[in-house]
């Protein structure tokens, strides 16, 4: 299924006052593709994702899809701990003006395996299940593209395994998935393509194998990644 371009970002830039957080970043996402965005703290990963999701306005450049068609899973879920899972989803479905909110909520619950927890108050859920709610919110509008900002950072190893299985399944079903991560091994295992951001610039796009090569061929991808950063002056 990969091959159909779902989203094209062209020369995206973002400045905060005099400070440039992102400079001329261009890439494409194709359906069913899993793309990892890696880079040091402050590289612009969250800024890039939030521009695509329409949470911030770009200073320059364009995105071919409107934000309504791009699902967004922030690092910190904006959920209400005192509401049930279903109530949270219903609230976001209305905020996002999804057509037929009840059907959208049922579909998102089903997709994320949360149907049997629908009535439970959010505060009673494990971290892994709260993250599922976060993802369910991102999927309410049935978007062709899903963005996740460091989705595994608060999860234990077992919860991570479940998360990646779910994300791989979404991509298999045709969703283009883009995630930011600090875990190079997750990028290696769960991304078809890797984007490396450093100081707001896209310094690499390619597969994990190509990243090994670009970083001097070290078999350890973390070492290759750091070599690449250093070779580019970061």
Footprint on this chain of ligand ADP (rule: CB under 6 A): 16, 19, 21, 39, 41-47
**Contact flags string 86-125 toward Mg ion, x per CB under 5 A:** ----------------------------------------
Other C-beta atoms lying within 10 Å of the C-beta of residue 55: 13
- How many helices and strands (H and E) does the chain possess? 8, 9
Q: Which does 181 bind (CB under 5 to 8 A by kind): ligand ADP, Mg ion, none?
A: none
Closest approach of ligand ADP to the CB of residue 105, in Å:
30
32/39 with CB nearer Mg ion = 39
Closest approach of Mg ion to the CB of residue 110, in Å:
30
31 to 70, contacts with Mg ion by CB under 5 A?
A: 45-46
Query: E strands along the chain, which residues?
Result: 5-16, 19-30, 34-38, 60-63, 70-73, 145-149, 176-180, 193-198, 201-206
What are the tokens at 103?
């059907």
Q: What is the DSSP letter of 4?
A: S
* Torsion from C-alpha of 53, 57, 58, 61, nearest 10 degrees: 80
Closest approach of ligand ADP to the CB of residue 220, in Å:
22
> Applying CB under 5 A, which residues contact Mg ion?
45-46
């Amino acid at each position: 299924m990969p091959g159909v371009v779902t989203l094209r970002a062209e020369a995206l830039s973002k400045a905060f006052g005099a400070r440039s957080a992102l400079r001329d970043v261009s890439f494409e996402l194709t359906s069913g593709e899993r793309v990892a965005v890696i880079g040091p703290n402050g590289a612009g990963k969250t800024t890039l994702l939030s521009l695509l999701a329409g949470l911030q306005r770009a200073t320059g450049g364009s995105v071919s899809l409107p934000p309504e068609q791009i699902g967004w899973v922030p690092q910190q879920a904006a959920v209400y701990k005192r509401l049930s899972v279903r109530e949270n989803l219903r609230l976001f479905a209305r905020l996002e003006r999804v057509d037929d909110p009840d059907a959208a909520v049922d579909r998102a619950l089903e997709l994320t395996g949360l149907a049997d927890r629908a009535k439970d108050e959010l505060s009673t859920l494990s971290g892994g299940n709260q993250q599922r709610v976060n993802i369910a919110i991102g999927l309410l509008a049935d978007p062709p593209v899903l963005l996740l900002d460091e989705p595994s950072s608060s999860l234990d190893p077992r919860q991570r395994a479940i998360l990646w299985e779910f994300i791989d399944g979404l991509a298999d079903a045709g969703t283009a998935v883009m995630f930011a991560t600090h875990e190079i091994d997750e990028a290696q295992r769960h991304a078809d393509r890797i984007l490396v951001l450093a100081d707001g610039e896209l310094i690499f796009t390619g597969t994990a194998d190509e990243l090994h090569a670009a970083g001097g061929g070290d078999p350890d991808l973390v070492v290759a990644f750091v070599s690449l950063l250093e070779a580019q002056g970061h």
